[in-house]
A and B are shown apart, each in its own frame.
Chain A
């Protein structure tokens, strides 16, 4: 079984709809991250959490919110989806430590907003 899972893997929705992407991990890591990937732009960090009670904005947090329900679960929400949020979204985890260590990525969720 995969250590970092994302659901759904694909989603097509309409402008204005609320969408939640979910991430679960069995690696026992304290730290979790949400990224989006756009062609030619690499990955950009949306939010990250260093433990259950810690939430931090990343480079591009506007239009997104997150919830860290437990050590193993980190959800990303789009309150009112818009077409330029069409992208590939990745969840990642890393162990606790000084700075940021190796990140382990999920398989990605492809989101299309029409």
Chain B
């Protein structure tokens, strides 16, 4: 069945460091891909999305490119802030919705 694999956390970075969270997927057909973020005690919020190959999703300085050839959708940010500390989930929709296990990011001042 469809699945999403993302890098295990936790990830701890200093403020202004570069962030990469890897995400790869297995799916039939042509899935839509998403990154969601969950702040403590809250539900998930969409961070960015891409619906077809080579699309780049971007929001709040975060970016991810839909790479069909490598079945990947890695999340990047050039300079993280303390306020980016949260759990990040990669997800796909093909036949239904599948989420990765989540990666906890902590950014220290």
Residues of chain A having any CB pair with chain B under 8 Å:
4, 33, 35, 40-45, 48, 56, 58-59, 90, 92, 99-100, 102-108
Contact between B46 and A102, CB atoms less than 8 A apart: yes
| Majority DSSP secondary structure for residues of A touching B | strand
Assembled-state Cα–Cα distance A100/B33 (Å): 10
Assembled-state Cα–Cα distance A90/B45 (Å): 12
Contact between B96 and A45, CB atoms less than 8 A apart: yes
Q: Across the two chains, which residue of chain A brings its CB closest to B2?
A: A59
Min Cβ gap B53→A in Å is: 14
Assembled-state Cα–Cα distance A99/B30 (Å): 10
From A42, A90, A104, give the contact of B101 (CB < 8 A): A42
Residues of chain B having any CB pair with chain A under 8 Å:
1, 4, 32, 34, 42-46, 49, 51, 89, 91, 93, 96-102
Assembled-state Cα–Cα distance A33/B44 (Å): 13
Min Cβ gap A59→B in Å is: 6
Contact between A99 and B32, CB atoms less than 8 A apart: yes
Contact between A108 and B100, CB atoms less than 8 A apart: no
Contact between A100 and B100, CB atoms less than 8 A apart: no
What chain A residues lie within 8 Å of B101 (beta carbons)?
Answer: 40-42
Q: Across the two chains, which residue of chain A brings its CB closest to B4?
A: A42
Taking A45-B97, A48-B97 as contacts, is the C-beta distance between A100 and B32 under 8 angstroms?
yes
